[in-house]
Structure 1
């Protein structure tokens, strides 16, 4: 009897699943399909075909895919190669607390051609895997204190834990998927909105660092948070703000900056009487590819501008930096901007940085096994922004960087306990 198993069948979305088929005819060619429906009703699909071994088994931990959406040994390939039916759709979990994504995995006993990715016939075997964004016991607290618009995720148990602010980019809203996962791994995490949410403007006229200072102080005052400083994880516009926070806010001591600039990109940053003006851009360098996807990464001068007034004075930061760069990013030339920031630190005798630069990875570097989002819309900016990336190296970058992010935050937010003589 053919059996298809996935172990475990319910787990966090950033944890691997062991998929195995047994009871097949020896050397039989089979097709494995995965699908899920997001909260907006959009379907995502992936598929690959495999050949059973001499005892009629296929084990994705060891056996190579022979074709489909990927080839080679990729135990989680069916998950990170999921593609939307609707062009430009991004897989994004909105309700992280009450429901998982349910991934259906089906086995068919024949190879399906790429022109037939959807199957209406009954599968030979199937299994459903629940992919959660929050671990049992993590609590979510809606934060509407002063100007702060956020959600706080607190792990269970006694004792204090590192505190982290999590921010996304210019698409706005309040995204909680990464913050809830960080809380599931032992961080008190504040998912902080900074534009396009409730009373926050879609396109702010300035970046007011006092708003972010208010959020940092709020997090540090929580009895569960281990001080004296906090960390942050940020991407794109969020990383631009994160770099500014790390320089001017003493509360921020460990900053993860994913594909961000080292200068203000469109509006000034303001902190009390300080005003940092944005760098000028060359909109004539915006490009559109053959699919109509818009590339922005050329619009800023790529030469070294650390001595110019527009670059953030990163050398003033007291904390530590983890720069994460996707070298195939088509939205921001993060490789150049991270290099410029690091050279600026070096010239001032600083070694408070680590760089992770991933060939083939795009802009949207997210937690492991998240499908590559190659393009989507940003309200008020563009309806077809090209994020870039190649599926396989992007997936590898996400898996590696997620571990490094957690290690970095623990290293710099958890005090070292020395032995007593």
Structure 2
């Protein structure tokens, strides 16, 4: 009998014992979750068999994060005439998600009642899997799962790193980051991976990119007390790009940049102006061209601080930051000159982004590139009712979370926006299209990409 415990507030959450419970006449329900070990962007198949016909059951997922917070999701189902529930084709009638949602037990996860506020679920140690316990309970339950005995339980591991992927610490020429290399001798196309203004070293997207055949360098460029923003300017990103490009396992003439939020502003600036960074393509998620990073990041933040009066706070005391760079300036000297860009660009935007005005920025970029004659290089994906944090698929949706505002070094609750189901769809669709875009422009064809599997 196995238990998982985790502290939330002052109480302990306990997962129901990993055993089965006979429901009638000695029958034992069977819960199958396949694969039991897979990449985080891989769908699993959940089937419950040997139930009573038309039996009401609840499927429940639970995960204890590296911060010891407990997350859960659940759906209400009714078995068919054979006593079977097949999540891929049967509808959830209620719970944290509804409808036919094969991955709802992941993307609708939320902190259990009594948890700390403003949480965000992020994987820090990508050398270990995200372990999710999935259980089936008799009846339609909404709470008290730790006080019930499950009919059956299964455990699944979700990995960001496929077997054989190498993780290499980069501490070279002042550059800090982590390089992930696909299995085998290579060489592989390279991706310089930039996260946003939250700072720190975020590795999980690069690990997943390497699992799909791209050598990816997760770059650290905002770190309190270590990597000073006064020292980080265009030369830092150019040095990082060259370190990746010069790795013997990287195809130096098949390079890309990928940025999220503030990382997109850096990406667009480098691609437009740098004489060193000449990628074959770039991807910008939830970003804007209205924040040129043409000086040290410290000075960029000082410029942004001049507009702090535009920040709004809603009735829940959540910070809305999108007005910081609105209206989109008409003066071309106040924006990145995207007309200079000579490689394909994929913009991934959310229709309900409350952090950056990405839709307005994309419209302005289209006009600028049309006038410059390079509009054909731009592809724009816009997802209505999605929020700012468009991450790899099946990541839970976070409408608002705790955040350190870099400009002011102040802890706030940031409103990111979005609604859970459309945001989940956006993440799944965008990730598939991002991989296809990178494969198209970095490999000879989308079919030649090497994809490592578990």
TM-score (normalised: structure 1): 0.92
Q: Deviations over 1:49-95 (max 9, x none)?
A: 01111111100100000001111000000100001233211111111
**Which residue is 1:323 aligned to?**
347
Query: CA shift at 1:415, angstroms?
Result: 4.2
Query: CA shift at 1:197, angstroms?
Result: 5.8
Q: Does 1:87 align with 2:114?
A: no
Q: For residue 119 of structure 1, give the secondary structure of its aligned residue in structure 2.
A: helix
For the 8 Å contact 1:362–1:390, the answer to whether it is kept is yes
Distance 1:53 1:401 in 2: 34
For the 8 Å contact 1:12–1:135, the answer to whether it is kept is yes
For the 8 Å contact 1:4–1:127, the answer to whether it is kept is yes
Distance 2:144 2:312 in 1: 32
**Which residue is 2:94 aligned to?**
67
1:96 to 109, 126, 142: 126
> Which structure features the higher share of helix residues?
2
Query: CA shift at 1:206, angstroms?
Result: 7.4
1:371 to 389, 396, 414: 396
For the 8 Å contact 1:207–1:241, the answer to whether it is kept is no
Query: CA shift at 1:262, angstroms?
Result: 0.7
**Which residue is 2:7 aligned to?**
none
Q: For residue 31 of structure 2, give the secondary structure of its aligned residue in structure 1.
A: strand
Q: Does 1:165 align with 2:188?
A: no
2:164 to 113, 126, 137: 137
For the 8 Å contact 1:60–1:75, the answer to whether it is kept is yes
**Which residue is 2:41 aligned to?**
14
Q: Does 1:50 align with 2:80?
A: no
Listed as ranges, the gaps of 5+ residues in structure 2 are 1-27, 447-454
Listed as ranges, the gaps of 5+ residues in structure 1 are none
Query: CA shift at 1:158, angstroms?
Result: 2.5
What is the 5 A alignment of 1:268-417? 269-270=294-295, 278=303, 282-303=307-328, 305=329, 307-350=331-374, 351-379=376-404, 380-415=409-444
Q: For residue 332 of structure 2, give the secondary structure of its aligned residue in structure 1.
A: coil
| CA RMSD in angstroms, aligned pairs only | 2.0
Distance 1:276 1:316 in 2: 24
Q: 1:280 to 1:176 in 2, by over 3 A?
A: closer
For the 8 Å contact 1:170–1:378, the answer to whether it is kept is no
Distance 1:317 1:147 in 2: 28
For the 8 Å contact 2:196–2:261, the answer to whether it is kept is yes
Distance 2:34 2:429 in 1: 22
What is the 5 A alignment of 1:119-268? 119-196=146-223, 199-201=226-228, 204-205=229-230, 208-249=233-274, 250-264=277-291
Distance 2:355 2:410 in 1: 12
**Which residue is 2:57 aligned to?**
30
